[in-house]
Amino acid sequence: MRRLPILLAATAALMMPAIVSAQPQPPAPQAAKGPLLSLSVSESVNSAPDMATINTGVQTRAMSAKDAMAQNATQMDRLIAALVKAGIARKDIQTSGINLNPQYDYSDRTDGKGPRFIGYEASNQLTVAVRKLDSAGDLIDSLVAAGATNINGPSFGIAEPDKLLDQARTKALKTAQARANLYAQATGFRTARLVSISEGGGFAPPPMPMMAMRDSAAAAPQTKIEPGEIATSISLNVQYMLEP
């Protein structure tokens, strides 16, 4: 009879881990109260740009690759010097492409003649950030005077678009909620509750115009640049639950 308390204690000890390890279970997820509505919404904010990007460069030809590249380097030095003199910071001048290719004349193909080699063409292109738009026209003129053989641009932009992007986000969210409420009411539901959101889009500049070259020897008015306005836009993909 003395062994009974010992057996009872051992049995209680074996049962304790099961009691201690028991944890409350999380509540089961609630079933959806209504259908899900997916929307894509885009909004933009227009503003005057505060910077522009211009692509420029020089092309040279010579009978040897070495001479073509040497001539190109000389003209490019003059081009970069003109940019620096105009107040463009070195950090805003970036090489965007260097090319060297043989050139052939294909015009005479009579009697089975092959293309005629006419030399090498070297090109060096720069991407330039212009932060003083009122001097952009004068800058283009100075590039032409310094020997630029091609100019593309300008492409206008916003240096720090964060505030404009936030304004566009606010507009997009309001538009999405209003549209979701419309769907809810039109289909017999009371409210539309936002359940997910993802973002896309960003700064949307207008198409970049092409700047045609002109004869530097001819008298002509200075190049005029009109920045106008650009749109800073945001696209949202949102999902709402329609609830009764």
Tokens of 2: 């003395």
In a domain, 191, yes or no: yes
Q: Please indicate, yes or no, whether residues 140 and 193 belong to a single structural domain of this protein.
A: no
Q: Is 105 within a domain?
A: yes
**Residue 19 domain flag:** no
What average pLDDT does this structure show over 173-197? Answer: 96
Last residue of a domain, one of 138, 157, 176: 157
Provide the pLDDT confidence category of residue 7 given band limits of 50, 70 and 90: very low
Q: With respect to residue 10, please indicate whether it lies within any of the assigned structural domains.
A: no
For 156-182, what is the mean pLDDT?
A: 96
Q: Is residue 91 part of a domain?
A: yes
**Measuring CA to CA, which residue among 235, 161, 163 is closest to residue 199?**
235
Q: 195-242, pLDDT tens digit by residue? A: 999 998 555 554 444 443 444 444 457 889 999 999 999 999 999 999
Peptide bond just before 221 cis, omega within 30 deg: no
Tell me what pLDDT residue 222 has: 84
At 194 the pLDDT is 96
Q: In the beta sheet, which residues pair with residue 163?
A: none
Q: Rounded mean pLDDT of the chain?
A: 85
* Residue 84 shares a structural domain with residue 110: yes
Q: Quick check: is 21 in a domain?
A: no
Give me the DSSP letters along the chain: -THHHHHHHHHHHHHHHHHHH--PPPPPPPPPSS-EEEEEEEEEEEE--SEEEEEEEEEEEESSHHHHHHHHHHHHHHHHHHHHHTT--GGGEEEEEEEEEEEEE-S--GGG--PEEEEEEEEEEEEEEE--GGGHHHHHHHHHHTT--EEEEEEEE-S--HHHHHHHHHHHHHHHHHHHHHHHHHTT-SEEEEEEEEEE--EEPPPPPEEPP--TTS--PPP------EEEEEEEEEEEEEE-
Average confidence (pLDDT) over 159-167: 96
- Select, from the ranges 15-19, 113-117, 159-163, 217-221, the one with the highest average predicted confidence (pLDDT): 159-163
Q: What is the 3-state secondary structure (H, E, C) of 68-88?
A: HHHHHHHHHHHHHHHHHHCCC
CATH number, residue 77: 3.30.70.2970
Across 110-129, b (16+ Cβ under 10 Å) vs e yields eeeeeeeeebbbbbbbbbbb
pTM: 0.71
Specify if 6 maps to a domain: no
Residue 116 tokens read as 């005629």
Res 25: pLDDT:
62
- Are residues 55 and 152 located together in one domain of the fold? yes
Quote the domain boundaries for residue 35: 29-48+161-210+220-244
pLDDT digits (tens, 9 = 90+) for 56-111: 999 999 999 999 999 999 999 999 999 999 999 999 999 999 999 999 999 887 77
Mean pLDDT, residues 2-30 taken together: 48
Name the residue with tokens 């894509």: 40
Q: What is the pLDDT of residue 26?
A: 57
Output the pLDDT for position 217: 42
Q: What's the confidence (pLDDT) of residue 238?
A: 97
Q: What is the pLDDT of residue 36?
A: 96
Question: What CATH number is associated with residue 224?
Answer: 3.30.110.170
d(CA 80, CA 230): 29
Structural domain includes residue 114? yes
Residue 194 and residue 38: Cα distance in Å, rounded?
10
pLDDT at 27 over 80: no
Model confidence at 34, pLDDT cuts 50, 70, 90, reads confident
Bridge partners, residue 120, by sequence = 62, 102
Is residue 37 located within the same domain as residue 66?
Answer: no
